[in-house]
Amino acid sequence: MKRTKRPFLLKLSSLTLCAALLLTGCGGGGASAGSGSGNQTASGAGGKKTLTFWHIWGSGDSNSTAVAKVIADYETLHPDVKIEVQTFENDAYKTTIRTNVSGDTAPDIYSAWGGGFSKPFVDAGKVLKLDDYLTNEDRDKLVSGALKNFTYDGGVYGLTFGMSCSGLFCNSELFEKYGVPLPKTWEELISAIDTFKASGVIPISTSIKERWVIGMLFEAIALKEAGADQMYATLTKNGGSFSDPAYLDAAKKLMQLEEMGAFNSDAAAISRDEAEVPVKQGQAAMYYMGSWASGSVDAEDSVDAGKFKFIPFPTISGAKGLPTEFNGGGADGILVNAATADPALAADFVKYFTENLSREDYQAGNYLPTYKDAQVDESKISPTTLDIVDATKDASDFVLWWDTLLEGSDVTTYQDALDLMIQKQLTPEQFVEELKKIQP
């Protein structure tokens, strides 16, 4: 007995120790990561105030330099404040931020999307209401409608730094080459498509695999059919209905495009990025996308850079949509955690951030500004961006894209049905029946 007990104890304790070390060694990271919670404005080195900030504009995103600059500028102006940034990939972030907000591990400040995306957070009381921190002066600086998608029950819960809208990017080289005028009406669009198709040019490059891309096109047609007021009321479940014949007409028109071969043949297999390739190689005549794509179509590797014209989606005669109504608006915003330790500081940073980023992004051609009198050097802005500004300066209304304005499960219903219809598994009538499940 004596002989065996001691070595045994030694072995048992060393084994346990090893296991414990291993596990704590791995879990040690967990403790520090947990400090991502919003209830800390812990003083770091030298009594600095810290704000944790999560966003999606890390390296590789067109916004990243502008964002980093604005944050650095703020820290220079306020040497006692440190902004701890963490960046995420766009798609993964959509899940991450939701789970963290609901689990109360969200940071002080975070980027999010407006409309139905952030509504659950606001409803659950996790977001700071910003009205108390916005003076009349602050509000006057904003472009009208800038906060539309971040206003819930009359209260402002987020600030925006940029607006975008979707429109038709037209390769004017190709249009001139084949003698096609830029389409202002549906009929002109159809005839343009026919001409391009016959000449071997992809009429409209799109991605069906990434459902939001083809969704944008459908929503453009729907907007022209139904008009902004009706569509907004329907999507926010505030008096509108999908039984309105406008939606059936829109669905039929989308299928008309699909059936006449307006899209690239591999649309269902490729991502949005891959759909941009023919556009940048001068093989596609039109590309319906958000205004942020101006950076891409004017990039160095784009064959016809600088020759793209941005036009609103063609109008449909007899329908309610106006040429001054656009899909889009202020979709990206910054929210503040309701549980943050220093709300005034957080609100101050967010105001600074959005105002300055608005100017930087406009200069870089990434977004349209949400703050008036953005002092920018217009000579340095790409012609396509100026085009967009020109096209939207008289905009009467913006309706956010459906996948942001609608809430979670409604988005799935809509996108699944759209997917099935495009693949000819559902008729347009059946598609509308599915939509009616969202808002009868």
Partner 1 sequence: MDKVMSDKKAVVIFLLPSFILFCAVIIIPIFMSAGYSLTEWDGTRAKVFIGLQNYKELFSSPVFLKSMLNSLIIAVASVLIQLPLSLLLALCIAHGVKGEKFFITVFFIPVILASVVIGQLWARIYNQNGLLNLFLRALGDKDAKTAWLGGMKTALPAVIVPILWQYVGYHMLLFYSGIRSISQDIFEAAKIDGASFWRTCSSITIPLLKPIIEVSVTFAVVGSMKTYDLVKVLTNGGPASASEVITTLLVRTMFYPGNRYGYGSAMAIALIAECFLLYLALGRIFREKPEKLEKPLKDERSAA
Partner 2 sequence: MKKLSKLSPGRAVMYLLLSAWAFIQLFPLYWMFTFSLKSNQEIFGENPVGLPKNWLWSNYTNVVENAHMLTYFFNSVIVTVASIAVVSVFGMMATFALTRMVWRGRGAMRMFYMLGLSIPIHAALLPVFIMLRDMKLLNSHLSLVIPYSAFALSMAILIFIGFISGIPTELEESACLDGCSIYGIFFRIILPLMRPAISVVAIFTFLQCWNELLFASTYATDWHYRTITVGIMEMTGQFRTEWGPIGAGLMAATLPTLLTYVLLSDKVRSSLVLGAVKG
Binding site for partner 1 (CB under 8 A): 91, 94-95, 98-99, 101-102, 120-121, 123-124, 126, 208-209, 265-270, 403, 407-409, 411-412, 415-416, 419-420, 422-423, 425
Cβ 165 vs Cβ 183: under 8 Å: no
What sign does the CA torsion over 280, 285, 288, 291 have? positive
Q: Does the footprint of partner 2 cover residue 416 (CB under 8 A)?
A: no
Task: Give the per-residue contact string, 247-286, with partner 2 (x = CB under 8 A; - = no).
Answer: ------------------------x-xx-xx---------
Return d(Cα 251, Cα 420) in angstroms, integer.
12
Q: What is the largest CA-CA distance in the chain?
A: 101
The entry of partner 1, partner 2, none that residue 47 binds, CB within 5 to 8 Å by partner kind: none
**How many CB atoms are located within 10 Å of the residue 378 CB?**
10
Which amino acid makes up residue 59?
Answer: S
* Interface region with partner 2, contact rule CB under 8 A, candidates 41-49, 68-76, 92-100, 332-340: 92-100
Minimum CB separation of residue 236 from partner 1 in Å reads: 17
* Interface region with partner 2, contact rule CB under 8 A, candidates 26-34, 122-130, 235-243, 321-329: 26-34
Return d(Cα 107, Cα 350) in angstroms, integer.
13
- In the chain, what is the straight-line distance between the N-terminal and C-terminal CA atoms, in Å? 81
User: 65-81: buried (b, 16+ CB within 10 Å) or exposed (e) per residue?
Assistant: ebbeebbeebeeebeeb
Minimum CB separation of residue 268 from partner 2 in Å reads: 17
Which amino acid makes up residue 348?
Answer: D
Cβ 390 vs Cβ 317: under 8 Å: no
Q: Does the footprint of partner 2 cover residue 408 (CB under 8 A)?
A: no
SS3 content of the chain, % helix, strand, coil (to 5): 50, 15, 35
DSSP string, 387-421: HHHHHHTT--EEE--HHHHS-HHHHHHHHHHHHHH
Nearer to partner 2, 57 or 247 (CB): 57
Nearer to partner 2, 12 or 269 (CB): 12
Q: Does the footprint of partner 2 cover residue 99 (CB under 8 A)?
A: yes
Q: Rounded to whole angstroms, what are the CA distances from 9 to 1, 127, 130?
A: 12, 54, 62
Minimum CB separation of residue 182 from partner 1 in Å reads: 29
User: Residue 173 burial by CB count (10 A; 0-12/13-18/19+): exposed, middle or buried?
Assistant: middle
Strands 158-160 and 162-171, bridge-based pairing: unpaired
Strands 325-329 and 162-171, bridge-based pairing: antiparallel
Which amino acid makes up residue 111?
Answer: S
Q: Does the footprint of partner 2 cover residue 322 (CB under 8 A)?
A: no
Minimum CB separation of residue 415 from partner 1 in Å reads: 7
Cβ 282 vs Cβ 304: under 8 Å: yes
Nearer to partner 2, 117 or 186 (CB): 117
Strands 308-311 and 325-329, bridge-based pairing: unpaired
Nearer to partner 1, 99 or 396 (CB): 99
What sign does the CA torsion over 125, 130, 132, 136 have? negative
The entry of partner 1, partner 2, none that residue 105 binds, CB within 5 to 8 Å by partner kind: partner 2
DSSP state of 167: E
Q: Does the footprint of partner 2 cover residue 96 (CB under 8 A)?
A: yes
Q: Does the footprint of partner 2 cover residue 111 (CB under 8 A)?
A: no
Task: Give the per-residue contact string, 213-252, with partner 2 (x = CB under 8 A; - = no).
Answer: ----------------------------------------
The only residue of 105, 185, 191, 283 in contact with partner 2, by rule CB under 8 A:
105
The entry of partner 1, partner 2, none that residue 261 binds, CB within 5 to 8 Å by partner kind: none
Q: Does the footprint of partner 2 cover residue 26 (CB under 8 A)?
A: yes
Partner residues linked to 315 by β-bridges: 185
Q: Does the footprint of partner 2 cover residue 45 (CB under 8 A)?
A: no
Minimum CB separation of residue 36 from partner 1 in Å reads: 18
Minimum CB separation of residue 270 from partner 1 in Å reads: 7
Nearer to partner 1, 123 or 132 (CB): 123
Q: Does the footprint of partner 2 cover residue 393 (CB under 8 A)?
A: no
Binding site for partner 2 (CB under 8 A): 1, 4-5, 7-8, 11-12, 15, 19, 22-23, 26-31, 33-34, 36, 59-60, 86-93, 95-96, 99, 103, 105, 271, 273-274, 276-277
